[in-house]
Amino acid sequence: MIRYAHMPSPVGPLLLAASDDGLHQIEFQNPRHPMSHCDSWEPRECEVIRETAAQLHEYFEGGRRDFELPLAPRGTTFQLDVWRTLATIPYGETISYAQLAQRVGKPSAMRAVGAANGRNPLPLVLPCHRVIGSDGSLTGFGGGLPTKVFLLRMEGALPATVDLFG
């Protein structure tokens, strides 16, 4: 049984979905790639959701840099490899899509790696916002570019002078 709840955050309301297996999904208010919600989902908190909300609150307050949660994302083997690799990008640092593809062991599959990154069901916890263009540009993000700028600035990975539209 997948349970879900909403939590407020500095980047807007977040939907958290989990089961006894772990956290399945974090979704922004207006996601770029909405996840499918099943009629059997139950609008109720569980321990995983409560712990996720607590750790996200600590993250947004600046007191948490790493998450310690049971994760249960659903995807292809390739997507899971990409998502596991996202978890290794340290707080306050960024890497390019080319570097991500290299770390996944598929240096010639940058587009596929980028697509898997864009389908990450656990943004924030698996920090896809830390992946940027090779030229330093801030490319697409499921929560929107203003959210990506907010997160990178909050983590100290983006100078305050970066212009989102420049």
User: Is the pLDDT score of 101 beyond 60?
Assistant: yes
Structure confidence by residue, pLDDT tens digits, 124-150: 999 999 999 988 888 888 889 999 999
Percent of the chain with pLDDT strictly greater than 70:
89
- Residue ranges with strand state E in 38-119: 95-96
The HSE-up count of residue 102 (CA atoms within 13 Å, CB side) is 7
Phi, psi of 80 (to 5 degrees): -60, -40
Residues 150, 82, single domain; the answer is yes
Q: Is residue 72 part of a domain?
A: no
Q: For position 140, which CATH number holds? A: 1.10.10.10
Give the three-class secondary structure for 3: strand
Q: Is residue 119 part of a domain?
A: yes
Domain that holds residue 20: 3-60
**Identified catalytic residue from 128, 131, 151, 157:** 128
| 90 Cα distance to chain centroid | 13
Structure confidence by residue, pLDDT tens digits, 49-99: 999 999 999 999 999 999 999 999 999 999 999 999 999 999 999 999 999
Which value, to the nearest 10 degrees, does the dihedral of the CA atoms of residues 135, 138, 139, 145 take? -170
Tell me whether residue 46 is one of the annotated catalytic residues.
Answer: no
Separation between Cα atoms, residue 96 and residue 132, nearest integer Å: 5
Percent of the chain with pLDDT strictly greater than 90:
76
